[in-house]
Chain A
Amino acid sequence: MNARDTAAAAPEYDSAAEGYNFAYLDEQTKRMIRRALLKAVAVPGYQVPFAAREMPLPFGWGTGGIQVTASIIGRDDTLKVIDQGSDETTNAVNIRRFFARTAGVKTTRRTVEASIVQTRHRIPETPLTDKQILVYQVPNPEPLFRLEPRVAESRKLHALADYGLISVKLYEDIVHHGSIATTYDYPVIVNNRYLASPSPIPKYDNPKMHMNAALQLFGAGRERRIHAIPPYTPVRSLDFDDHPFEVQSWDHACALCGSTNSFLDEMIVDDSGKRMFVCSDSDYCHERRTEQAGANEAGEQA
């Protein structure tokens, strides 16, 4: 019932940095967050308020995702952290080191090895399994915010499933751009009930949320909200009958691994403006290149 006394527990977590509880948060906080997570899983897509703590980095840097990960991570977990698909950005590196120091857990860059993947703004290309949890960092969980800034009113709209307003937004997109112009943070209906923001993942990734074998958890630190999509839950991206939802496609393949079915980043590589298209998911690209290298070697040896 009660959390173990942290002074007594500290020696066990000998790989945790001195003076910190396992995974930084105290046990009471973790319990509170887990309760919120349970509620969120029980009502897919519904935003559950939680008492977000002050974290050692400012709002806007993933505090919500970090708190969710901290509440669920155990000593035997393996953590992967990506930011826009890359394991090597400042943000991803810092968060990975944070958990390495405060929880002493194994970390990895390989999606297939991770039990928890914390992500900012992308879903890994490698399909996830029912042994994995995907934790999203969410800036603003409320898809209706721009259209209905009053919090009390937007909560009523969710409660009553009164979602005409989001259709208005999509209508306006078509008016101004000829098609639904939203390319990221594309609103979805979860489990045929709640309207949710999938966080600013590109709409290319939306289909991956549908009937995913993994548990998907969303943490918004500044807004103090958690929502969740349990495994194998239907997730539908909003559209009109005569303007159906479509994902982006590229005329190019990845310049490094040749993939034609992953999200590509466009990179300017020199001062003359030469462009290169490269997989956004660095692990996916790396795996493919490794496979190809292996196959080439095997081919050469043959």
Chain B
Amino acid sequence: MSITESHTASAFARGFADNPALMLRAVGVAKTFTLHGQGGVQIDALDGVSLDVERGECVVLVGPSGAGKSTLLRCLYGNYLASEGTILVRDDAHEMRHRAISGAPPHDVLHLRRSVVGYVSQFLRVIPRVPTLTLVAEPLVTRGVPEAEARERAAALLARLNVPQRLWSLAPATFSGGEQQRVNIARGLIAEHPVLLLDEPTASLDAENRDVVADLIVEARLRGAAIVGIFHDEDTRARVATRRLELTPPLRHTATLH
């Protein structure tokens, strides 16, 4: 490790050790896509973003389309590989009190996703033929919750989100966009992860259901979750946000040939 790196590393370490409320720390996260199939074209999607999130905070990302809001969330979840920067998440079981998502081996990221970081995507990734109730109960079952209890909690959450009971035994593939999204949200929130990443969770919902989701997010926040989210409507933003972070599109946004 270089002097700078070790200095930075200890700075990071101090962060999580000194501040027990700190849950997520992103430093200088940037993302560039290289499209090999198109002559090596490079697309900058995110420019050096830094962010600390504490318990009970809900940081709402704002900015124009193309600013990299969704990209940032995906990098925080390990779904995209950050091209630059460091992403650390609290892990009190670990000696250093945190673990890196950036540059981490797949096993570590899987562990963090299971127990620490939850993600609600913009669209439901439909797993075919699995009934809705089972889908929503699954994150609890994989964390060791007995199946009967998991299904009860899933039912309660679906009911709260106004997903009609007659749909619970069906696979969501044929549901409306709004119904699918509510199933998605239920699945993402049910395990009560300490860190939550929400990518436009209310995009296809009507006002009533947006309110329910906003309530759920506030409850999570009050429970001590650290949340980073993107919301397309101002009402929801106003209800859930404790602060906002403005992202601007990367400077070098035009395509550069290799």
Do A and B touch (CB < 8 Å)? no
